[in-house]
Structure 1
Amino acid sequence: MKKPTMKFLTLAAAGAILLSACSSGSTTAASTASGSASAGAQSSKISIGLALSTLNNPFFVSLRDGAQKAADAAGVTLVVTDGGNDATTQANQIQNFQAQKLNGVIINAVDSDAAGPIVAPLIAAKTPVVAVDRAVNGATVNSFIASDNVAGGALAADALAKAIGEKGKIIVLQGTAGTSAARDRGQGFTDAIKKYPNIQIVATQPADFDRTKGLDVATNLMQAHPDAVGIFAENDEMALGAIQALGDRAGKSVFVVGFDGTADGVAAIKAGTMAASIAQQPEDLGKSAVDTLLALIDGKTVEKTIGVPVVVLDKANA
């Protein structure tokens, strides 16, 4: 009786081992299949890049937020980078986007001229590219979405002329050289201010869209031109720096007009230290950029240039 029992046990053990092996192999295969399906689903999901010039500016934070909301609503992944206002850094970030094989890219250029060579490889690879707020020079992107900065500059000229009684000396704080926003706002302002023969631009100097630089440049220019009665800053950050430089004179003997309509800019208008700001709609810019890029990825035709309106904010409507 012992031999058959032992033989039976041996066969039973072998069967258990075989069953275990089959079960283990089956689980591994299922796991692999599940992993492959998961990887396939992940790879099929749309991922897009948003290369911002800087996130050290409330305007671009709002633009990013608008883009993120649009991406979330569409169920796509948005990869955001901060160029730190450095064109070389932004170039590296765009190269990484291409290496990651993102489905499309939105660029808010640090420098419009430098941006052309940066996005050229994407364009050559047939990756859709949308420029937002700042143009790309030297390359043809699929679409450019921006506020009408020339019209905004003209509105700023009218607002400043009104604030100073259409006469007196004024100073202009320019944005970052090489950006389309600075160029267009400056052009719109300079052309429109010519309508007022008793207004004279006595100084123009870049402050790179930066509040601290706006403070420093405005301090120096007001020392050189103490009789100036108005300042146009090509964004609110520089305008707020100029207001700091002016101290008690802001809104009393010297009037400041900014551009962007940021929360801090609106607060300054309400406080009476800023006469007006030309309000952009950065969240709408971000949303429009994402929606346009997704339409391109979907094979649809989009407008080459898409404008987002600007409005004058002053104490009456801020």
Structure 2
Amino acid sequence: MPETSRRHLLLGGAAVSAGALLTACTSNEPKAQDAAPAGSAAPAADDKPGTPVTIGFAGPQADHGWLNAINDNAERRAKKYSDVTLEITEGSNDTATQIGQVQTLINKKVDVLVILPADGKALTQIGLQAMKAGIPVINLDRIFASPQAYRCWIGGDNYGMGLNAGNFIGERLKDKPNATVVELAGMDSLELTKQRTQGFDDALKNYPNIRKVARQAADFTVESGQAKMAQLLQAQPKFDALWNHDDDQGVGALRAVAQAGRKDFLMVGGAGAKSAMDAIKADSSVLKATVLYPPTMAASAIDLARALGQKKGVGGMSELEIPASITLYSAVVTKENVDEYLPTGFS
């Protein structure tokens, strides 16, 4: 997941992707398709093909539910367009390998590149190289160190995730004296984890009756979620709410909660996994909400790349060019609205 900054253009709207805007990226706007598969963006469809565009896609290694959904969204979206050819690399979390893969795409002279870098800072030079070679880059989620390394950045709002999770919990506990909360964070070595925590802490400042009493960092895996949650439960025999940064590690966290027989608090997850949405809909566990970090951004990145290749702007906006940056909104999914967001849930 990404190392993003809050300096980007905020486009408020549901995390079913920037679909309403971006599927109209070109004048040959797609017509409606069948319902999208779970974990994918609102459907793009094809009417008249435009200028053929070859898009090079360098994505991550699919070793996490969210990352797998990123790759799936990109491939599915590209297949919707008869005028798009997708040159896709084998995903890698190794920076040297990914640099080599992007270099190959540059040598093939693709029209546009979509890159979710394993490490934004480490891959900045290859982004710069592509841009200097006249190949525009859509920087997906993990941001390059220089804005000159990409034409457009699109990604999620890590600070907004924490902020919205904190506000949801705050509203649920605002009338409870001396309420306490705990946090199951992601990897503390990642900037995104710090941003999610900062957003959460800033939201809690609006609720003086609520105090955060514990925090554990996990590793975005089921196993780490279970182990770290077990430690939290043992150290904190009573608290009122839990903010968990990631739904994959949340699977393990829920296992630890069930094993401990705890039902005395509410839990808010993060990212938008289908398993989390199913649990929210069933309303049979402590999980009451999840804050989205939509992998549908990869489908929107393909829309943007197609628009760039066809020299089009974004439908619904007056400008002739696509934006320089787009930050997706971190919607809160609850029992009341889960049916709306279920189609975007990823496995």
Structure 2 unaligned blocks of 5 or more: 1-50, 313-320, 339-347
Instruction: Identify the residue that residue 123 of structure 2 maps to in structure 1.
Output: 115
The 1:232/1:115 distance shift into structure 2, 3 A limit, reads farther
* Alignment partners' CA distance in 1, 2:198 and 2:98: 27
Pairwise CA RMSD: 2.8
Instruction: Identify the residue that residue 292 of structure 1 maps to in structure 2.
Output: 304
Report how far residue 85 of structure 1 moved. Answer: 3.7
Instruction: Identify the residue that residue 335 of structure 2 maps to in structure 1.
Output: 315
Three-state SS of the structure 2 residue aligned to 1:120 is helix
* Alignment partners' CA distance in 2, 1:256 and 1:145: 29
Deviations 1:119-167 (A, max 9, x none): 2322232221112233222343111112333323211112233455651
Off by >4 Å, runs of 4+ in structure 1: 162-166, 248-251
Instruction: Identify the residue that residue 201 of structure 2 maps to in structure 1.
Output: 190
Among candidates 211, 223, 226, match of residue 215 of structure 1:
226
Q: In the alignment, is residue 66 of structure 1 matched against residue 73 of structure 2?
A: yes
Q: Check the 8 A contact 1:52/1:109 in 2, yes or no.
A: yes
Report how far residue 199 of structure 1 moved. Answer: 2.7
Instruction: Identify the residue that residue 275 of structure 1 maps to in structure 2.
Output: 288
* Alignment partners' CA distance in 1, 2:89 and 2:246: 22
Q: How does 1:85-104 map to 2 (within 5 A)?
A: 85-104=93-112
Higher mean C-alpha displacement, 74-83 vs 269-278 = 74-83
Higher mean C-alpha displacement, 273-282 vs 110-119 = 110-119
The structure that is helix-richer by fraction is 1
Among candidates 231, 241, 252, match of residue 242 of structure 2:
231
Q: Which protein shows a greater Rg?
A: 1
**Larger RCO (CA within 8 A; separation ≥ 6):** 2
The 1:215/1:295 distance shift into structure 2, 3 A limit, reads same
The count of residues paired between Structure 1 and Structure 2 equals: 273
Report how far residue 55 of structure 1 moved. Answer: 1.7
The one-letter code matched in structure 2 to 1:256 is M
* Alignment partners' CA distance in 2, 1:277 and 1:266: 7
Deviations 1:235-257 (A, max 9, x none): 21122221122225577124321
The 1:246/1:117 distance shift into structure 2, 3 A limit, reads farther
Give the TM-score, by structure 2 length: 0.68
Q: How does 1:1-318 map to 2 (within 5 A)?
A: 46-75=53-82, 76-81=84-89, 83-140=91-148, 141-163=150-172, 167-175=179-187, 177-179=189-191, 181-247=192-258, 252-271=263-282, 272-273=284-285, 274-283=287-296, 285-300=297-312, 301-318=321-338
* Alignment partners' CA distance in 1, 2:126 and 2:235: 40
Report how far residue 216 of structure 1 moved. Answer: 2.4
* Alignment partners' CA distance in 2, 1:259 and 1:54: 20
The one-letter code matched in structure 1 to 2:324 is K
Three-state SS of the structure 2 residue aligned to 1:48 is strand
* Alignment partners' CA distance in 2, 1:260 and 1:270: 16
Structure 1 unaligned blocks of 5 or more: 1-43
The 1:139/1:204 distance shift into structure 2, 3 A limit, reads farther
